[in-house]
Amino acid sequence: MNVHGIHHEAKTKYAYAFDEKTLHIKLRTVKSDIDEVHVIWGDPFDWGPNPNNDNIWEWNSSDAEELKMTIEYSDNDFDYWFLQVKPEWKRVKYGFVLIKGEHEVLYGSRGFFNLDEMPKKRYNISDYFNFPYINEEDLFKAPKWVKDTVWYQIFPERFANGDKSIDLKGTLKWGSKDPVNNEMLFGGDLQGIVDHLDYIKDLGITGVYFTPIFEASATHKYDTIDYFKIDPAFGSNDLFKTLVKEAHKRGIKIMLDAVFNHCGFKHPYFQDVAEKGSKSKYFDWFHILREPVINFEMKHGFPKPHAHEVTGKLNYETFAFTPNMPKWRTGNPDCEAYLLDVARYWIEEYDIDGWRLDVSNEVSHDFWRKFRRMTKKIKPDLFILGENWDDSNPWLQGDQFDGVMNYEFTFPVWHLLGHEKHVDYNYSPQKFRNAISKLLVTYPKHVAPNMFNLVDSHDTSRILSTCEGDVDKTKLAFVLLLTFGGSPSVYYGSEQGLTGFGDQNRQCMIWDTEKQDKTMHAFIKQLIAIRHSEKTTREIDIHFITEGDFKDLVAYEKRTEDETLLVIMNTNDYEKEVKVPLELQRHYKDLMTSEAIELTETLSLKAKGFRLLKAKL
């Protein structure tokens, strides 16, 4: 028994309150090393007299339950075991009995005990793990609407130009440049979005996430000048209020981008610091390392593009090493109050439904706890989404975020389907299963439905480009996205065949119907409709099918109480015929064609083909 790979911690993702009555218990062991795992559990205060001596009180082991765990997922290295219990008094002590062959070992908070040699340890609760009490106020609670939402991410400057009268000098003809860069202006604005809300609704979208729209210098608007004002190139505050109302009429939620890690160089508070140094009343609102604050050349009122060797030598802290984005000191009470007022203003005055938090993992947990308490008091069903790129459990304890941008889903999809020129690894189906299995055990089961799943965004290459223009593999990426539990997002224009690497992904949306990829649009629209109509697509748990020939496919089942969804994908560049496991041979409805089919002994899948099959249980 390899005890070095065994891991559990109480009150973490390995043991958490799923709801006010239910505790989820998980255990990690080395893959294929343990035959069985049992959990002995009971109330820690269930004591009584020893049957042989009334003067000795001990834990009533006869009241304890011993339940068998199941392996819910495995990756290349580990098996992940799961058990759900409902302690009557909301408190529980528990230990694991690890079984290998005829040998049993107790695993508890104080280590491992060979039960063959120390059988009395089996019910010694002083060696058990402890979940002291399920407190309702500590439960993770997210808005109920999020798990059923399909998002559409819009980069406003490139979505649609609806009001040419507010175009800035130098604005280019719509879609006239390819590739694009961040310095180009095409005149995208809020009126253009209002004009196309019906298009967004027709696609099946129920939530729109905007990258920043407040007054700023750059086209991307992550260098905020005025947090209380819509950028004049986008429109006005009144127009934004109209946009929100019109979106809500169509059943579409609105989420804004909160850039609270940093502001823009031209923000008046930072300009005051740049001019007055330590004499500025805003000096402690920023992380000033030394004076003079500005220790670099300027050009047209902005930091001059600097040589690489200047990186890290600034006299103030910034986002990355970008002098255009000075970092806020959110621990300063006045700075904190200012930023919280921003969040409050757009909720109270404009009725937005969510905040996406830029560079959220670089802002203090203390600030985000205050942010959550304040915003949820105003609007309890507000969605709080963090921009974290990796394991984010510390932010998802119920006191900060409701979810994060789930790039831990994105990366395996890229590695499975992306062209070798554009990805770090090329995943086989097994490596993909390993990565997704690890992801599915990373987050508690009530957190996972609120993860913001995506295959591309304004910060990545377009999925069609990652797949080197392979339309069929791009479609497979969207099949994975829209059958995976969580809250999926489509980056504007990917449904129309937009391409682009890096920041070149920020192309102008295609409104010329002769140039639109109508086939891709219809395909994604159909998948979104299936997402809305079929509850199984929104379920979190996946059962990967690896029996026989299916090991060379990406195939999985998702179940509700009365239905099953079977997803089968051939990611190979050649047709494949496979033998169908007996337990999968039944009558199905093909969700893409609406035809009734019977899955028999063999199944043929064309190159880069897939099937979405639904059956009653």
Task: Give the separation between CA 252 and CA 204, rounded to whole angstroms.
Answer: 10
Find all residues with CB under 8 Å of 470, minimum gap 6, and list them: 417, 419, 464, 608
Amino acid found at 544: F
Task: Give the separation between CA 565 and CA 558, rounded to whole angstroms.
Answer: 5
Q: Which of 150, 151, 165, 196 is CA-nearest to residue 508? A: 196
Task: Give the separation between CA 591 and CA 197, rounded to whole angstroms.
Answer: 27
DSSP-assigned letter for residue 591: T
In Å, the largest CA–CA distance within the chain is: 93
Q: Which of 555, 573, 572 is CA-nearest to residue 564? A: 555
| Paired sense of beta strands 253-258 and 354-357, if any | parallel
| Paired sense of beta strands 587-590 and 596-598, if any | antiparallel
Catalytic residues: 358, 387
> How would you label 528-548 residue by residue, b for 16+ Cβ within 10 Å and e otherwise?
bebbbebebbbbbebebbbee
Task: Give the separation between CA 144 and CA 99, rounded to whole angstroms.
Answer: 40
Q: How big is the CA angle at 130 (ends 124 and 136), to the nearest 5 degrees?
A: 145
Amino acid found at 378: I
**Count of CB atoms within 10 A of residue 606's CB?**
12
DSSP-assigned letter for residue 262: B
Between the CA of residue 93 and those of 16, 64, 87, what are the distances in Å?
Answer: 13, 10, 10
**Count of CB atoms within 10 A of residue 49's CB?**
12
- 3-state SS, 276-306, equals HHHHCCCHHHECECCCCCCCCCEECCEECCC
